[in-house]
């Protein structure tokens, strides 16, 4: 049996009881280590589970799937994923390989940012399509996430922005020279994502385009959701550029039309400066 087990979002104790029992019963346990991270590392998980874990990077999952699935028809193998197992496309691929090899699989679900973000006070069924915000480079500054946010906002919907993670990336030079030297991991912060959005807004304003959001749009930054030191910070986009929510992972929500109950909930976690702004929204047509 191949078990795909979600670890949730905080630390080792966020696994479900069912998940923990499965981990302990498996002969091999892989920890997917490139689409997300917990607030604790591999060693803390190994100690908590009482099991040795094999780190599974992108290469292993995408090219070494046979190794992961080896003998899984006669023994139990666990594949651990931060959040829920179906957050990333790559895990569908592993399931398909198992099915094609006649290996039964079982999913043990858990919280992921896609549903846990509801704790910021915005209703999950008022969210439109989620977007990914990637790190810009000197020569590559995609803006498609801005267009999707605008489209959601036009329909009154909030947008969850998943922020880029670069783990085990090689520099262009090292890639070209075939050197297996990796850059330090990078995790986009709420501040960086807000800054990229600001740049898009400025550029489009200069070009006279109609704007789907502005510097004053209410946004929510969240960090380390589900952990004891999680941070939720509500403010205008401009305010979030200068916020410091600490270590990874961060996500950003751009709000659409706000319901009065949502405004009340946002206020619980609002920056002092943002309170006035929310007050304003509260009494505007926004909430109607």
93 binds its own copies (CB under 8 A): yes
Q: CA-CA distance, 68 to 61, in Å (whole number)?
A: 8
Contact (Cβ atoms closer than 8 angstroms) between residue 30 and residue 80: yes
Q: CA-CA distance, 45 to 51, in Å (whole number)?
A: 8
Any known ligand binding at 202?
no
Structure tokens at 199: 């740049």
Q: Binding its own copies by CB under 8 A: which of 44, 55, 99, 280? A: 99
Contact (Cβ atoms closer than 8 angstroms) between residue 170 and residue 183: yes
Binding string, residues 152-171; x marks residues near its own copies by CB under 8 A: ---x-x----x---------
Contact (Cβ atoms closer than 8 angstroms) between residue 69 and residue 98: yes
- How are beta strands 159-163 and 77-81 bridged, if at all? unpaired
Q: Which residues within the stretch 31-70 sit at the binding site for its own copies (CB under 8 A)?
A: none
10 binds its own copies (CB under 8 A): yes
**Choices 66-74, 93-101, 204-212, 235-243; region in contact with its own copies by CB under 8 A:** 93-101
Least distance in Å: CB of 118 to its own copies? 3
Any known ligand binding at 113?
yes
Count of beta carbons in the 10 Å neighbourhood of residue 261: 11
Q: Which residue has the tokens 């309170």?
A: 275
Please report which helix (H) or strand (E) contains residue 149, including its range: helix 144-154
Q: Binding its own copies by CB under 8 A: which of 2, 8, 72, 134? A: 8
**Choices 70-78, 117-125, 246-254, 274-282; region in contact with its own copies by CB under 8 A:** 117-125
Backbone φ and ψ of 121, nearest 5°: 115, -5
287 binds its own copies (CB under 8 A): no
Least distance in Å: CB of 41 to its own copies? 18
121 binds its own copies (CB under 8 A): yes
- Terminal-residue alpha carbon distance, the chain: 52
Annotated binding site: 9, 84, 87, 112-113, 163, 225, 250
Tell me which residues touch its own copies (CB under 8 A): 6, 8-10, 13-18, 20-21, 83-87, 89, 92-93, 95-96, 99, 107-112, 114-116, 118-119, 121, 123-132, 151, 155, 157, 162, 225-226, 261-262, 264-265, 268
């Amino acid at each position: 049996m191949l078990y795909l087990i979600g670890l949730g979002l905080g630390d080792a104790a966020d696994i479900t009881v069912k998940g923990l029992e499965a981990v302990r019963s498996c002969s091999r346990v892989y920890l997917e280590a490139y689409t997300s991270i917990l607030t604790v590392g591999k060693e803390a998980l190994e100690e908590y589970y009482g099991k040795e874990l094999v780190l599974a990077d992108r290469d292993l999952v995408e090219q070494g799937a046979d190794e992961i699935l080896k003998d899984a028809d006669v023994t139990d193998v666990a594949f651990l994923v931060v959040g829920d197992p179906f957050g990333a496309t790559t895990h569908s691929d592993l399931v398909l390989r198992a099915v094609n090899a006649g290996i039964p699989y079982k999913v043990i679900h858990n919280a992921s940012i896609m549903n846990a973000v509801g704790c910021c006070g915005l209703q999950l069924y008022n969210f439109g399509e989620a977007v990914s915000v990637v790190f810009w480079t000197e020569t590559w500054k995609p803006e498609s996430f801005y267009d999707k946010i605008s489209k959601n906002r036009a329909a009154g919907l909030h947008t969850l922005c998943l922020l880029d993670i670069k783990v085990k990336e090689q520099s262009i030079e090292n890639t070209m020279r075939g050197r297996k030297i990796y850059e330090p991991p990078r995790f986009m912060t709420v501040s960086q994502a807000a800054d990229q959005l600001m740049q898009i807004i400025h550029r489009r304003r200069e070009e006279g385009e109609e704007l789907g959001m502005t510097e004053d749009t209410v946004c929510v930054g969240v960090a380390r959701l589900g952990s004891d030191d999680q941070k939720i910070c509500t403010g205008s986009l401009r305010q979030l550029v200068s916020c410091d929510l600490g270590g990874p992972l961060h996500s950003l929500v751009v709000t659409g039309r706000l319901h009065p109950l949502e405004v009340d909930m946002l206020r619980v976690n609002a920056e002092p400066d943002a309170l006035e702004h929310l007050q304003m929204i509260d009494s505007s047509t926004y909430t109607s």
